[in-house]
Amino acid sequence: MKKIVLIATLLGSLWACDSNVDPLPTSASVTFNFTHLINGEEFDLENSMMELPTGEVFTPNKFKYYISNITFTNTSNQETYTLEDGYYLIDQAGQKSFSFVIPTAAYDQLSFYVGVDQERNLSIDQVGDLDPSNDMVWNWNTGYKFLVLEGEWQYGESVREGLIIHIGNNDPASTINFREITFDLNQAAIDLERNSEVNLDFEAELSALFDAPNEIVIHELENTSIMGGEWAIKVAENYQEGMFTLK
């Protein structure tokens, strides 16, 4: 009889312990924060200068881009969650963070694209931040600019000149500049299974647009308005390969 009472007491204690364990959340509020850097330091538009390895000094006065098609993946079981209608404009002169809610899971990989996918690029539905008033639509073609960088540059004793970089898909049938960036969530110690609120802090290094992996020598360009062709592809490769870091 004493054994029965002891066993019952132990079971009751175990049940009480289990009942005190907080259940895992079913959803998480996720916030993306973007910090823009020049050579590792935060900068102000029109007031910060960037000295490039190729000798030019560049002063940015406009820098913005679209983030879209955000996807979380558990690579062990291939479970994925893609944020529907998630099109966000990141602007050094304006919004640099945004939030959304996702179902929790043991995600270990995050990906997003710089730009706008082909379906939305050709659509008249203005979901998310796809608003013409954001000054990110072409005025001579269908679709959106994926990334905009404008400013002034000088090389040696030369006169200061303007630089315009507008990257998009000029050919509606092409997706060559719509680039995916992937991050390892485990490496960044991000737990989207047990936390109901998660901040993801990204750094975007502006100088990488000019040299990682493709070197863009401004003073050797025939045209310092890059809006398509070979140089636009090189810039797109640079923002895919070298610009973003998850801290």
pLDDT, tens digit (0-9, with 9 covering 90-100), for 122-155: 898 899 999 999 999 998 888 999 999 999 999 9
pLDDT, tens digit (0-9, with 9 covering 90-100), for 166-206: 999 867 668 899 999 999 999 999 999 999 999 999 999 99
CA quadruple 217, 221, 226, 231: dihedral positive or negative? negative
Q: How many domains does the chain contain in total?
A: 1
pLDDT over 60 at 1, yes or no: no
DSSP letter for each residue of 42-107: E--TTT--EE-TTSEEEEEEEEEEEEEEEEEEETTTTEEEE-TT-EEEEETTS--EEEEEEE----
pLDDT at 20: 61
**Residue 224 falls inside a structural domain:** yes
Minimal CA–CA distance to 224: which of 142, 171, 165? 165
**Residue 17 falls inside a structural domain:** no
Joined tokens for residue 180: 């995916």
pLDDT at 12: 52
* Helix runs in the chain, H state only: 2-19, 118-121, 208-211, 229-241
pLDDT at 82: 98
Residue 187 has, within 13 A of its CA and on its CB side, a CA count of 8
Amino acid letter at 90? I
**Residue 150 falls inside a structural domain:** yes
Mean pLDDT of 67-84: 98
**Residue 16 falls inside a structural domain:** no
Joined tokens for residue 102: 């996702």
pLDDT at 9: 52
**Residue 5 falls inside a structural domain:** no
Beta pairing class for 244-246 and 197-205: antiparallel
**Residue 131 falls inside a structural domain:** yes
pLDDT, tens digit (0-9, with 9 covering 90-100), for 7-59: 545 445 545 555 566 789 999 999 999 999 999 999 999 999 999 999 999 99
Distances (CA, A) of 82 to 88, 185, 187: 14, 16, 21
Mean pLDDT of 71-91: 98
Tell me how far apart the alpha carbons of residues 116 and 169 are, in angstroms, rounded to a whole number.
9
pLDDT at 6: 47
Mean pLDDT of 208-227: 96
pLDDT at 75: 97
| Distant-in-sequence, close-in-space partners of 94: CB < 8 Å, separation ≥ 6 | 64
Residue 97 belongs to domain spanning: 29-246
pLDDT at 188: 96
**Residue 201 falls inside a structural domain:** yes
**Residue 20 falls inside a structural domain:** no
Residue 165 has, within 13 A of its CA and on its CB side, a CA count of 30
